[in-house]
Structure 1
Amino acid sequence: MSRLLKVILPVLILAIGFGAFRLLVATKPEKASPSVQERVWRVAVEPVELLTAAPQLELYGRVETPDLLRATAPASAWVTEVLVQDGDVVAEGDVLLRLDERDFEPRIAQVEAEIADLEAQIASEKNRFETDRLALEQEQRLLKLAQDAVERQQRLKTQQVGAEQALDDAKRTEAQQQLTVTNREMSIADHPSRLRGLEARLASAKARLAELRLEFERATLKAPYDGIVTGVEVTEGDQVTKGEALVRLYATESLEIRARIPAPYQDEMIEAVKQDLSLSASATIGGESLQLRFDRLAGEADPSGVDALFKLDGDPTLLRLGQLLTVSLERPMREAVVEVPFRAVYGGGRIYLVEDGRMRGIDVESLGTRISAAGEERLLVRSDQLAAGDALVTTHMPNAIEGLRVAIVGAEPAGSSREPTPTPTPAPGPSPEPDVAEATSGAPDSPN
């Protein structure tokens, strides 16, 4: 009996264990299969607004002027007074410096004396001419008497009652009187030449006097126009020579800004000039905006572009010659353009819209920048696929791709017919990103 028990008991224990195992397997709870849910990215959007606007082109310009005056000394003199210094703003007629007048007065007095002498010589020449004219009449009568005397002596000699000596004396007197008449006639004939010579010398002296008086007038150097002094080359007590530089200044009204137009925009500017378009520009100095006006293109260009010249519509005293400025040029108007923030543009030519809770990429043409009404610099883009009211993604997504699931922060885009996927409750562990809803599996993370 005990032997049989030893054989049955192990078999019974194995049967009971196997039955318990089968019972546990049959009654174990079923494990739920894991669900895969797409990650939803929270983004900000703004509605697309189609505008007619002028793209702005940022240029770097330099202030210059074609009217840089270099005032020089009119003659050798001493500097007695200097009334300006570098950087002074002067008005038309303001005295800049004075030269010693005593260096000019003796030369003027000398030429005035020469003029008086020439005027006296001219008057004497006219008197001489009148005297010669009157004397010629008398000498011609004397010549007639001498000729009559010769004829009388010749008749007496023919009648053999006159002496040979008397005839010779009569002929000698006639010849001498003829010579006198000839000299007088020559003197009268030379009168116009002598008079013209004296008058020419007088005119030369008067021109010299006018030159000296002009030099004397310029001894007091005055500003010829409203301008800014860029340099004073002398000081009181200096001795200067004729033509030596004294003061340099430029007219404030003649200031202009020269800026290089890059080669890609050169054809556009040339076409604007052909169509006589009025293009405006602006620059900022010390927090104050200056309005500029496109005036003309330079006569020369090179492979990098062509220079544009701008006139100033504003207070020119804010500018200084040689100053460097950042110029914002208003290019020709474009239609159906959209202002977008720079963070909304990927790769320089792609933006994303939100449609049915997903991102849709659109390739756009970049036209340039523009300062918005809020003072923010924005990019102007254009595309036939953009329509007014489209939801433009303004949050920069490092992993932006076509079809990425997104949720709009604060509101749904107009026209969306599909609710965003609910955000699952995150499991215990590290906190999720502040602008991203955590899920069991994520979308592709490759950046665009």
Structure 2
Amino acid sequence: MNRLLKLLLPVLILAVGFGVFQYLKQTRPDRPVTETRERVWRVALEPVEPRALAPMLELYGQVENPDLLRAAASASAQVARVLVREGERVVPGQLLLELDPRDLVSGLARTGAQVAELEAQLESERNGQESDRAALEQERRLLELSEDAVARAKSLTRRQVGSQNDLDLAEQDLARQRLAVSERSMRIADYPARRRALEARLQQARAEYEEARLAFARSRVVAPYAGVVSAVEVAVGDQVKTDEVLLSLYPLAGLEVRARIPAPYQAELAAALRNAGSLPASALVDGGRVGLVLERLAGEADPSGIDGLFTLTEGAEWLRIGQMLTLRLERPLRESVVAVPFAAVYGGNRVYTFVDGRMRAVAVRTLGSWFAPDGEERLLVAAPELVSGDPLVVTHMPNAVDGLRVEAHQ
């Protein structure tokens, strides 16, 4: 009996435990079913507004002036007066600098004296030519007389009336007279050559005199136009050499801006210039607007691009040579494009519209930057699927995918 009880007791305990477990399982309260809800992201929307807009290209340029004047010393002299300073504006005809005229007067006087001397020599040659012609007639007459005298002496000698000595003297006199006629004839024949030589020397002397006179006149450096003094290289008392630069001056009207145009835009802008002749641009300098126009491209290019040359239409008074500018160049006008915030573009080729509470991806083509009147920079995109009035998602979503649930907020 005791042995049977020992065998049944563990079985009984297990059966009671299993029964209690089943009772508790059947009587436990039901767990509430949790419902999974999709998260909704809040985004800002903006209506699509297709318009005709011109993409802008931001460039970096430097102010230069092809008409920069470098006034040089006309002669070796001492600087007598310097009347302007660097950066000063000048008006046409204003005296800027003066060399000491005493250093140039001697050269002017010396070359003037050479001209006068050669003019006198040329006049003397003309008079000598006239005298030689008259003298030649007389010497030819004397030559005829000498020939007659020799003929008579020979006749007397043959008749043994005259002496041999008289004949010799007559022949010597004839030889001398022939030599005189020959020399006089040669001098007359050589007159044109002597005259041309003197005229050439006179022409050279007159040129040197004109150079000296011009150097004297240019000893006073005068502004040829309204402009700005970019540099003053000398001071009063400096001894300068011929052609040494004294100061530099440039006209405000001749300022240009040279900016590098990247190679990807070179063909587009070259075609636009051929069609339109020019392209507008602008820049801000010290709070003032500077208007520019792209008129031509440089004559040389390299793989990185080409230089564009811009002329100024307004605001030149804000600029100085060498100054760096950030330009905004208007590229050719594009039709039916949309200006969107940069945050609205993903991967450079798609945006999202708001459709039935979800984001819908739209493939776009980016055209470049555009600046609103208030200065805000936006990106111009083109896509046939974008229709006027479509709500565009302008909040940048890191997890943006097609079909993401969103809701609009103001």
Same-fold call, TM cutoff 0.5: yes
> Corresponding residue for 1:340?
340
Q: Distance in 2 between matches of 1:239 and 1:266?
A: 50
Percentage of matched positions with identical amino acids: 53
Structure 2 residue aligned with 1:189: 189
Matched to 1:366, the amino acid is T
Structure 2 distance, partners of 1:117, 1:38, is 113
Instruction: Tell me the SS of whatever aligns to 1:297.
Output: strand
**1:352 equivalent in structure 2:** 352
Q: Does 2:127 match 1:127?
A: yes
Query: Structure 2 CA distance, aligned partners of 1:266 and 1:338?
Result: 24
Measured after TM superposition, the shift of residue 215 of structure 1 is: 0.9
Deviates more, 1:179-188 or 1:321-330: 179-188
Letter in 1 for 2:377: E
- Where in structure 2 are the equivalents of 1:2-41 lying within 5 Å? 35-41=35-41
| Per-residue deviation, 1:36 | 4.7
Q: Which residue of 1 aligns with 2:370?
A: 370
Which SS does the other structure have where 1:104 is aligned?
helix
Matched residue SS, 1:392:
strand
Letter in structure 2 aligned against 1:278: S
Other-structure match for 1:149: 149
Q: Which residue matches 1:90?
A: 90
Q: Residue 325 of structure 1: CA displacement?
A: 0.6
Q: Distance in 2 between matches of 1:76 and 1:47?
A: 75
Could you say what secondary structure the match of 1:213 adopts?
helix
* Superposition deviation, residue 403 in structure 1: 1.7
TM-superposed CA distance for 1:160, in Å, is 4.5
Native 8 Å contact 2:289 2:315 kept in 1:
no
Could you tell me which residue of structure 2 aligns to residue 57 of structure 1? 57
Q: Secondary structure at the match of 1:81?
A: strand
Pick which of 268-277 and 94-103 moved more.
268-277
- Between the aligned partners of 2:380 and 2:60, the Cα distance in structure 1 is 20
- AA at the equivalent of 2:199: E
Structure 1 position 340, deviation (Å): 0.8
**Structure 1 CA distance for aligned equivalents of residues 311 and 167 of structure 2:** 99
More moved, 252-261 vs 319-328: 252-261
Paired residue for 2:80? 80
CA pair 291-357 structure 1, distance change in 2 beyond 3 A: same
The equivalent of 1:99 in structure 2 is 99
C-alpha distance in 1 between matches for 2:199 and 2:98: 35
Q: Report the residue type matching 2:352 in the other structure.
A: Y
**Residues of 1 paired with 2:155 and 2:303: CA distance?**
109
Q: Which residue of 2 aligns with 1:441?
A: none
* TM-superposed deviation, 1:37: 4.4
Q: Secondary structure at the match of 1:207?
A: helix
Is the contact made by 2:283 and 2:325 (CA closer than 8 Å) also made in structure 1?
Answer: yes
After superposition, where does 1:37-436 map in structure 2 within 5 Å?
A: 37-273=37-273, 275=275, 277-409=277-409
Deviations 1:101-127 (A, max 9, x none): 111112211221222122111111111
Deviation at 1:394, TM superposition (A): 2.3
**How far 1:275 moved relative to its partner?**
4.5
Instruction: Return closer, same or farther for 1:277/1:383 CA change in 2, 3 Å cut-off.
Output: farther
1:41 CA drift (Å): 3.8
**2:149 partner amino acid:** A
**SS, match of residue 190 in structure 2:** helix
Separation in 2 of the partners of 1:235 and 1:85? 10
Write the deviation string for residues 297-332 of structure 1: whole angstroms up to 9, x where unpaired: 233333332222212122423211111110111112
Decide which moves more: 90-99 or 137-146. Answer: 90-99
Secondary structure in structure 1 of the residue aligned to 2:388: coil
Cα displacement (A) at 1:221: 1.0
Q: Counterpart of 1:16?
A: none
CA deviation after TM superposition for structure 1 residue 404, in Å: 2.5
Question: C-alpha displacement at 1:136, in angstroms?
Answer: 0.7
Deviation of 1:130 after TM superposition, in Å, equals 0.7
Q: Scaled by the length of structure 1, what TM-score is found? A: 0.79
Partners of 1:226 and 1:253 in 2: how far apart?
9
Bigger drift between 347-356 and 36-45 goes to 36-45
Q: For 1:164 and 1:301, locate their aligned partners in 2 and report how far apart those are by CA, in whole Å.
A: 100
CA deviations on 1:3-27 (whole Å, 9 max, x unpaired) are xxxxxxxxxxxxxxxxxx9xxx7xx
Distance in 2 of aligned mates of 1:386 and 1:155: 136
Q: Deviations over 1:371-420 (max 9, x none)?
A: 1234322110111221222111223334433223333346xxxxxxxxxx
1:141 maps to a residue whose letter is: R
Number of residue pairs matched by the alignment = 388
Q: Which runs of 5+ in 1 are unaligned?
A: 1-20, 411-448
C-alpha root-mean-square deviation of aligned residues, in Å?
2.7
The secondary structure found in structure 2 opposite 1:192 is helix
